[in-house]
Structure 1
Amino acid sequence: MNVLRAERIKLFSTRAPWWCSALSVLVPIGFTALFFGLAGTAVPADVGNTQLAAGNGRTVALVLAVLAASSDANWGTLKLTFQAVPTRVPALLAKGTVVLLLCALLGLLAGTGSWGLAQLVRPEADLGLHSAADWRLVFGQTVTFALTGLLGVGVGLLLRSTALSLALVLVWSQLVEGLVLLIPKIGADIYQWLPFYAASQFAGGDFTRSTLKLSAPLGPWGYLAYFAAICIALFAAGAGTANRRDA
């Protein structure tokens, strides 16, 4: 418990996590308000469309997680932690746990906040959670945000450099995954196996899939398992690397 408390204190000792936490919730909620307010009847007001901007919130949560890991190494506080906790694994697991729990909370707020605000903007629309799929879309953000946080910590521990880590995750999530679609013949097939697309298929609007008429090879829960495997593998690789090399 002391290690968890120490990681929590370190995480919130600077302003960046506070700003990232706020933006990861406010960005999807704000987009949803604008979307439902300005789109009118041109776009169906359904539960799935309340989560169209969830990916933007996850991106900010990813930045938060990378900063939590890489800045710890850059500032030398990781070395101090290892001196206080000679067995490194508990400290690394504590860091991953703290970020995972924070990101889970942010996902819960972003998902339910977007859904709730959409009901205020379009009170005449039927946005009730009538099916298991509706519940998954809204509350599933808790899971995908949490796993994204774990992924970010893994990348930060692997690369240590804040600039390099942020460049990698942002270029990948915001540019590379979209550009894959431009590859002739096989682009769409590859795209459906990319990690952040997988996350959106479990909890998020399926705007891209419906627009491009993609036939997903996995169901929502299969995509969640696939995304979880990637995130856990990256965190394990980052923790294993940090455990072996000099702090």
Structure 2
Amino acid sequence: MTLLTVERIKLFSTRSPWWCMILATVLTVGFTSLIAATTSSNDVADLTPDVTQFGYNFGLVVMMVMATLAVTTEYRFGTIRSTFLAVPTRTPALVAKLVVVATLAAVVGELTGVGSWGIARLIQPDAPLGLNTAQEYRGVFGVGLVYLLAAVFAMAIGLIVRQSAGAIVIELIYVLLVENLLPVIPRVGDHIQHWLPFIASNNFVVAGAPRHTDGPPVIDDMPLGPWGSLLYFAAVCFGLFLIGTILARRRDA
């Protein structure tokens, strides 16, 4: 509990987590508000729970940046040395940081997911925004799980790279470009894309959603179901964190 308290104090003693939380919420909920407000009465039937989560990736990227900075900022200013002197085995300190950062990301994810759906219901009360299927519940309430695991992924990259700019650039290029551009590779691109971690996390949110909605993209023929995709995403994220922890224990701080 002491390590968790220390990591919580360290995290919230800087401004970046507060700005990231605000920005993630404003971007995601604000984008949904804009969609709902500009939906005409003729198109209100197309405003489904899936559509309200169209912008969840905006907040996801912001919280990944926050998780990365939680690690790399300590390396930049040398405060990680004091942490490792206090906890010579290093692993408990890194796990405590992971718990604090990932929990915060999960809370923000739930706020953005439920908030986006709720604001759409307020703006368009006649829209079919009731939660009636397992996919609709996953799409709204499952966003927090995706944010949590994405924070683990981002912390792992931060531990491996140990430099803020480098780690953030790697994450942004991978999440926003690499995973989406792989299908252009002839023959094998689509098959490889199905096993990429953030494609799998998106499948957890959208699997079973109708293809005609304007929500997050639905990719056909995924090899795993929604919960299998989430477990696969979790395995990749925690596997990378394990690698990052091993490197952190072997390198000089």
**Contact 1:209-1:215 within 8 A present in 2 as well:** no
TM-score by length of 1: 0.93
Measure how far apart 1:146 and its partner are.
0.5
2:235 counterpart (229, 234, 242): 229
The corresponding residue for 2:247 is 241
Measure how far apart 1:180 and its partner are.
1.2
The corresponding residue for 2:224 is 218
Alpha-carbon displacement from aligned partner over 1:199-243 (angstroms, at most 9, x marks no partner): 111125764226xxx222211111101111111111111111111
SS at match of 1:107: helix
Question: How many pairs does the alignment contain?
Answer: 244
- Classify 1:183/1:85 alpha carbon distance in 2 versus 1 (closer, same or farther; 3 Å): same
In 2, the alpha carbon distance for the partners of 1:42 and 1:174 equals 30
1:177 and 2:179 matched: yes
The corresponding residue for 1:104 is 106
Give ranges in structure 1 of 5+ residues lacking alignment: none
Alpha-carbon displacement from aligned partner over 1:188-209 (angstroms, at most 9, x marks no partner): 2222222111111112576422
Measure how far apart 1:14 and its partner are.
1.6
The corresponding residue for 1:208 is 217
**Contact 1:202-1:220 within 8 A present in 2 as well:** yes
TM-score by length of 2: 0.91
Which amino acid letter does the alignment assign opposite residue 218 of structure 1? L
1:21-100 superposed matches below 5 A: 21-40=21-40, 41=43, 44-100=46-102
Measure how far apart 1:4 and its partner are.
0.8
Normalized per residue, which structure has more helix? 1
Measure how far apart 1:168 and its partner are.
0.3
**Contact 2:179-2:196 within 8 A present in 1 as well:** yes
**Contact 2:182-2:192 within 8 A present in 1 as well:** yes
Identical-residue share of aligned pairs (%): 43
Give ranges in structure 2 of 5+ residues lacking alignment: 210-214
In 2, the alpha carbon distance for the partners of 1:57 and 1:120 equals 21
Which amino acid letter does the alignment assign opposite residue 180 of structure 1? L
